[in-house]
A and B are shown apart, each in its own frame.
Chain A
Amino acid sequence: MNRTHQEIQEELTLWALGIAPDAPLPGLAEHLANCGECRRLVREVYETTGLLASAVKPVPPPEGLKEKILGRLGTEGQEVQQAGRSSTSVDRIHSLPREPGPRGPLPASHKTKRGQTEAVRRTPWTWLWGAAAAIFVFGLLWGNISLNRKVQRQEEEITAWVERYEADFRWLRSAEYLLVQESEPAFSALLAAPAEIPGIAPVGDPGSGAPTGKATIYTAYDDRFYLIVWVSGLLPGATYEVWAESAGAASRIASFAVDERGSGSVASPSEGQVAWTRVEVRGIDETVVLRGELRPGGLGPRGW
Chain B
Amino acid sequence: MKGSADQSVSLSLPADISWVPLVQSVIENGAPVFGLPRNKAMMLALSAEEIVVHLAGIARGTRIDFRLEPGGWHVLCKFSFKADPSDLWAMNLVTKTDVLEEIDNLGLLVAVRAVDGFTLGLEGETLHLTLRKDRDYPVVKPGPIEPVDTRGDLTIVRDPEPELIKAACIKALGIYTRDVVPRSFVTPGMVVDMVEQMDLEIAIAVDEIGVLAGMICWQASSEQGIGFSGPYVFVKDDRAGEILTDHLINTVARTRAMGLFSDSATSSLVTEGFESLGHLNMIQTDGRTVKQEVWYRHLKEDVGASVWAHRAYAEFLRTAYDRQVLMRDLKIVEGQIEGKGERLPERSVFSVELRADAGKATLSPMVTGLDAAQCISRHVETLLRENFFNIFIPIDLAHGWQAAMGQAIMDNGFVPRMVLPHGGKSDVLVFQHG
Asked if A and B bind, the verdict is no
